[in-house]
Amino acid sequence: MTSHWLAPRTDSPVHAEVPLPGSKSITNRALVLAALADGPSVLRAPLRSRDSELMVGTLRALGVGVADGPDGSWLVTPAPLTGPAELDCGLAGTVMRFVPPAAALAKGTVRFDGDPRARERPMGTILEALRALGADIDGDALPFALHGTGHLTGGQVVIDASHSSQFVSGLLLSGARYDNGITVVHDGKPVPSLPHIEMTVEMLRAHGVEVEDDEPNTWRVRPGVITARDWDIEPDLSNATPFLAAAAVTGGQVTVPGWPTRTTQPGDAIREVLTLMGCEVVLDERGLTVRGADVLTGIDMDLRHASELSPTIAAIAALAEGPTRLRGIAHIRGHETDRLAALTAEINRLGGDAEETEDGLVIRPRPLHGGVWGAYADHRMATAGAIIGLRVDGVEVDDIGTTAKTMPDFPAMWRTMLDGAAVEAL
């Protein structure tokens, strides 16, 4: 679906319960760990979207068995990784950064490529790290080729992970299978999205892997077996945020069932954000419920460790009262698109006042008008346009289909959520 999508507008408060599919971050980590484990694993309630299907496709191409269960689960049966193989990373950061460290264990040549925008995303850090650990790689970005011998020496590597925590996670996920394990030392500006590294460490330990992370900016994975285990995948909390934002901007109420009481997902930070903006936020046995406020207030917040929420929060901020400053998110210039430039351009295109700073955004609310909202092949940019369209006539998202990256049918979910409101355009 690439034609313009007229975002539904409503004058009524949204009231809905919105079940969400599984977490992309947990699903794709669990797939890699299951592929390298010592026996079969079952992933229950995984996310089935473009990013996770791309991960499954790369693992199958390397010889791993991934079978569809009748209940939507995946049964992963490990096998020795082998080439030759041609792998499509699409625009999935978790695929292009998690799979090469695993493919370094394959025997044969493995070639990687992806979408045109993926060729612009930072990859040099992880490829140079793999070279330092003993891998033979042609190229410094997509497309590149990895010539595997069936094992990797491993050891200590020093990297600058200030552009993405995925560089650290990708190396850690496969490190136990390297001859000498792996020690990753970060040297540079602070690592963004640290909760994602904590998620990786927690999942490794759940697979019986010995990980040491008590020293700042250093992670050590001992060589050894990755024990097979089954996973029940949590709902994707970052994917939940546009629906919770709908409650915030319409003064309504939205509940996301199954919200975990304890999680390493950075999306959990939306609870604090919406509370600061004036919403009522309740976590109980039903899940997470957000009740919108009569007036949404601007905030000043460092989102370094939950930067994936930036497009959602920017969209809410454009409809709030008072300025919002988002800090610590310079690294999202290297996400699916340059999100700082894209958010600034699209909010201003609709009559808003957004300004890009060195490490974030300043948004000063102004009356908005309709127009085309560019998605930039970025799922979170597309959902940000949908949020603004709830309160502004005539907002057209130019590529709502890009949301399939992490949500199989976002437009249908959005329409279902709005069934109880007076929707002016569907």
Binding annotation: 24-25, 29, 93, 121, 164-166, 193, 308, 335, 339, 380, 405
Per the structure block, which two tokens stand in for 227? 């024990």
**String of b and e for 358-378 (b: at least 16 CB within 10 Å)?**
ebbbbbbbeebebeebbbbbb
Q: Which H or E run includes 138?
A: strand 136-138
Residues at the binding site for phosphoenolpyruvate are: 24, 93, 121, 166, 339, 380, 405
289 beta partners: 255, 282
Q: Which of 17, 215, 308, 396 is catalytic?
A: 308
Active site residue 308: yes
Q: Which residues are annotated as a binding site for 3-phosphoshikimate?
A: 24-25, 29, 164-166, 193, 308, 335
Contact 146, 133 (CB under 8 A): no
Strands (E), 225-366: 231-232, 253-256, 280-284, 287-291, 300-302, 324-327, 353-356, 361-364
Q: What are phi and psi of 333, to 5 degrees?
A: -65, -20
- CA atoms lying within 13 Å on the CB side of residue 400: 21
Could you tell me which of 113, 59, 70, 114 has the C-alpha nearest to residue 91?
114
Q: What share of the chain is helix, strand, coil (3-state, %, to 5)?
A: 35, 25, 40
Catalytic residues: 308
